[in-house]
Structure 1
């Protein structure tokens, strides 16, 4: 949360107070001048942070609230608007630091609408015209220019008239943007560079010491990196989605250039426009990229040009901004659990609140820096935000609701589990426990090893792992395989049958293979994707990886220097090597399984699976033998047929492949997003057509 020099939150105006989104009270000219200067300076600072440094300390809604208040005050006191006011101009940093280029035509911002009446008023102003409605992607605007088919330059929006050249950076971090198009003359494509949610999550999983706040700031920050090749190698890859193109000034079809275009709907009137706006909002949560609204613009390029523009906005377009999914509740307490690799993140307990379709009682506060900057306190009224399936977080507090009983949140200086001194790391000022013998870390590593993604010890729950660890039966991963039914029977509520079942589940888990073993080891910075890439790269045994150098691992696609160094350092630890040797002694499979080896799609025939993105759910049975087929084997078969398997249903999913005993949530989400649900009878027919069964 931004603060003035006095320390007062800029989102909490001086008395009499008003809530965010309300109308500020009338002020004297002296008070109005002070507040206008304060707000203008803060908006300029935030513009510099986001558009200049790729940092987004505030959610859009909070930024908009500051700018809206400034606009209201300036409208009341126009003579007090400062010469360098951020109003009436394109959102931009005060200075462009890199090489620049002048745009052939200005790149402007869009007018904002937050209510249906504003959209209807816009449509009435252009009655008789057709409108185009598309997603408003939440990223960084780019201009991509080709000359006689060759990529000439890529520039940011900059100040609208002049943009910063980022051509070389884009070649690395947006690899899917074509270097050549089949079109003569000068072609300019305008669109948005976004970081997908899945890329953002994967990056944060492998860079816990310096996580990206959100995909939006991740996209902006990536294009500010001085070493784009290193950024790309570290997983900071972006996606470019175009919303328009022209050749020598005449509008052309974007998709004909081989560039991804934003989905759009052509509408005849305000009713159909609002229907399209609501349809985009309904599928918002299922997308793999963030959108913060829908863009409504005149469909005819000539009509759009004829409508003209102000100094900052085209008159022929407007953006409908969706409200974030947030509810107010009370922040009751803050806990600091120790993670399996030593990170000690803040986790808040809040009074139960229904938001985003679920009842929320625990939320993340991200990191200590965010707590400090937003001045979050125990006892505060806070806005809990939940978008899609992401973990809910406390977006902001409501300072004007305070009664003086609130408590400052103080990050711990010592580990809550082992009492060793914590290290402060990264821009987020995160706390880390470096004691490898920390009991909390050890127990969480054991829980992670037994989890479904790793050894998949069905029925061996966290409560039992914690009990066995407390009693000394479990200290390292290999200890699971030495547990006997006789040892378990002595515990309350553990009879002979339950004990035998648990031991049998542990025994079955021995066949996990190299990929899932790497996941279970919880190597810092090495995600599930890294484990899969190592298997696909040809590593057959865990001992092969233990013998590899950082340079060897860097040669694997999408594995950067930091990840490679982390893997080598982890596997070199004496206690890790001893545990791996003990796992081998117990008969645990640490070699690559056939299902994790590279698949050959060259010989696959044609089928609806080729080139499709699919999600696999439920239980599958071979129709010829009646034998059960494991999920990894089904994944391998569909990948052999040319499909890409994803973990969750989104708008980019082509088919949900549903076996038996499928839960209602995934099929309901598929129906909501218009994703085809394919039963296993049809799947086996497709696989047979592809020649992979």
Structure 2
């Protein structure tokens, strides 16, 4: 729907009210909405602002001041013992300070605001009685039988007598959402939130469960006969902080936001509420919101914009992916102007066109992408996106590969590939030539000065000073940066080689498997490589084929001649057998969470570096806590979610002081 900005205030209010109601009905009726949350919020905020200025023009059926709810509940219903209300929202620090200032001397609780579907789970004398959605706020729709199939982890029994109500959020994990979409490219889910809501709308929960369309329930509160109590054992708790001041509240909001990108579920904010139940109840309610709580919303991760054009750049290993320019839009905390469209098949199946209004998604450090388009906003000027048949750089005919119908340039001398490989070699994760920028690499490659990786090490300051805008200091910094990169070692060299299908993790595993020199890796057979954990047959074949190339063998020799270290560094070696025998980490499965401080320097140490240290000590790392986890290695600012799950599963939580002691005794530190 496109609004006419020339209408009068009364008509605009009526338009906005009708659109907000339409979007509510779509979301609660089908589990999906054509608009991202941020754009929906913008419509509702505009409506609220206009109504505040002109209250006499608010329609009788206005959606303001009401719980977001479907037009009607189609299934069996139940009246909630206490209303399930929406929360007022804040988007800046001052609004949080104002909220906390209303309750001087009170203690606050700050918790993750999960982006899912609110549920009420009720037990009577320890047995599950029913599960209901929020519904209208006063009346919920019963979904007990559906939940039994699609939320397999929900406790059927609890060890608490009386009538106990547990409230929380049903979410679809990001990993589940991604796996489902990969397995069902013909009916992908827009995002995890829509996946959660849509799953409980489905009429056949058994089919949903068979399709691995499963949800997980996180509890944020419980009461027995109206009196608050601790969330019973068996539930995944929402991570939360208890805060005595507004400064602690703001710190907790920042810490939750800082963990947001590393979670396997979506959160769109942090909930700040009065910690004491009596104080919360005493604060009272308005028609749709409790006065004792507010939701701080983080920058949106999905917003609408216009797709302006599509380019097909050539990557370092020959892949030619679609990259799109969009009208600048603020999403995920940054202004986005370029996005990925993934592959030609996705473009075709989602019917994306130049000129479309698209929902741009950005989560963490993931490259922003187009989640979907809005065909109803087309005006006929949109243009079909046609993949190229020939390489945009060298003109060679492109190959079509894989289920994504990706285009590949197979000409190894393609100029674009050469430049991309040079940039990759100089990047932080490879040679880490901090003083060498991509612009200069591109210029030197165009001039034929840089043709291969080893050419970096022949550059001189005098040579660089021949270029405009290159001063003596910049030239010296570039040459010094290149010289210092010679100590890169085997792991970084393998990353810098850009071997198809071999990730940074592959390079790490080859070092931990005992390979000492790059020539040793080059001599390995596919059978040798497949024997290493997490290296599959395709990756092994790709590594063997890569090192069999004459140009690669010649380049390794040239790098050696220029003094580049291509042997394993001590920091990347496995722990020696004697030390490993004494290490509590040897053969253990561990999960790493939180922020860590290097005991040697007092500086923050990255999660990848901690991972490399514990893997040197012969441990195996995993991303999530499970029954197979031996240790949860916990740094600072760890939420209650992972530690709570560890406690429930009997997993030992190891704090960083003890971890550093183990690593020191094992000789890793």
TM-score range, shorter chain: 0.5 to 0.7
1:682 maps to 662
Instruction: Please give the residue correspondences for 1:137-286 in structure 2 after superposition, counting only pairs within 5 Å.
Output: 137-254=114-231, 256-286=232-262
- 1:395 is displaced (CA, Å) by 7.9
Report whether the alignment pairs 1:86 with 2:86. no
The match for 2:5 among 5, 8, 14 is: 14
CA contact (8 A) 1:138 1:292 kept: yes
Instruction: Provide the C-alpha distance between the structure 2 equivalents of 1:110 and 1:443, rounded to a whole number of angstroms.
Output: 44
CA contact (8 A) 1:658 1:679 kept: no
Report whether the alignment pairs 1:38 with 2:55. no
2:384 maps to 410
Report whether the alignment pairs 1:621 with 2:581. no
CA contact (8 A) 1:656 1:677 kept: no
2:526 maps to 509
1:128 maps to 105
Instruction: Provide the C-alpha distance between the structure 2 equivalents of 1:354 and 1:85, rounded to a whole number of angstroms.
Output: 29
Instruction: Provide the C-alpha distance between the structure 2 equivalents of 1:465 and 1:226, rounded to a whole number of angstroms.
Output: 56
1:377 maps to 355
- 1:369 is displaced (CA, Å) by 9.7
SS at match of 1:257: coil
1:440 maps to 400
Once the two structures are superposed, residues 511-536 of structure 1 have per-residue CA deviations (whole angstroms, 9 ceiling, x without a partner) of: 45599797849xxxxxxxxxxxxxxx
Instruction: Please give the residue correspondences for 1:330-369 in structure 2 after superposition, counting only pairs within 5 Å.
Output: 333-335=309-311, 347-349=323-325, 362-365=338-341
- 1:677 is displaced (CA, Å) by 9.7
**Which structure 2 residue ranges, 5 or more long, are not aligned?**
315-319, 374-378, 391-397, 416-450, 455-496, 500-517, 546-570, 597-606, 617-621, 623-632, 639-654
Change (3 A) 1:504 1:105: closer
1:302 maps to 278
SS at match of 2:160: coil
Instruction: Provide the C-alpha distance between the structure 1 equivalents of 2:403 and 2:188, rounded to a whole number of angstroms.
Output: 24
Report whether the alignment pairs 1:314 with 2:268. no
Change (3 A) 1:199 1:300: same
2:92 maps to 115
Instruction: Provide the C-alpha distance between the structure 2 equivalents of 1:331 and 1:141, rounded to a whole number of angstroms.
Output: 34
CA contact (8 A) 2:77 2:139 kept: yes
1:58 maps to 35
- 1:510 is displaced (CA, Å) by 4.2
- 1:77 is displaced (CA, Å) by 2.8
Change (3 A) 1:462 1:178: farther
Instruction: Provide the C-alpha distance between the structure 1 equivalents of 2:116 and 2:307, rounded to a whole number of angstroms.
Output: 31
- 1:356 is displaced (CA, Å) by 6.4
Instruction: Provide the C-alpha distance between the structure 2 equivalents of 1:316 and 1:249, rounded to a whole number of angstroms.
Output: 17
Instruction: Provide the C-alpha distance between the structure 1 equivalents of 2:586 and 2:201, rounded to a whole number of angstroms.
Output: 36
CA contact (8 A) 1:376 1:396 kept: no
CA contact (8 A) 2:400 2:407 kept: no
SS at match of 2:280: helix
- 1:329 is displaced (CA, Å) by 9.8
- 1:176 is displaced (CA, Å) by 1.5
Change (3 A) 1:394 1:181: same
CA contact (8 A) 2:172 2:193 kept: yes
SS at match of 2:220: strand
Change (3 A) 1:660 1:353: farther
The match for 2:611 among 657, 661, 674 is: 657
Report whether the alignment pairs 1:287 with 2:263. yes
- 1:105 is displaced (CA, Å) by 1.2
- 1:268 is displaced (CA, Å) by 2.2
- 1:661 is displaced (CA, Å) by 11
Instruction: Provide the C-alpha distance between the structure 2 equivalents of 1:128 and 1:225, rounded to a whole number of angstroms.
Output: 47
Q: Which moved more, 1:669-678 or 1:385-394?
A: 669-678
CA contact (8 A) 1:657 1:680 kept: no
Report whether the alignment pairs 1:388 with 2:379. no
Change (3 A) 1:656 1:228: farther
Instruction: Provide the C-alpha distance between the structure 2 equivalents of 1:359 and 1:671, rounded to a whole number of angstroms.
Output: 32
Instruction: Provide the C-alpha distance between the structure 1 equivalents of 2:279 and 2:39, rounded to a whole number of angstroms.
Output: 34
Number of residue equivalences? 488
- 1:123 is displaced (CA, Å) by 1.5
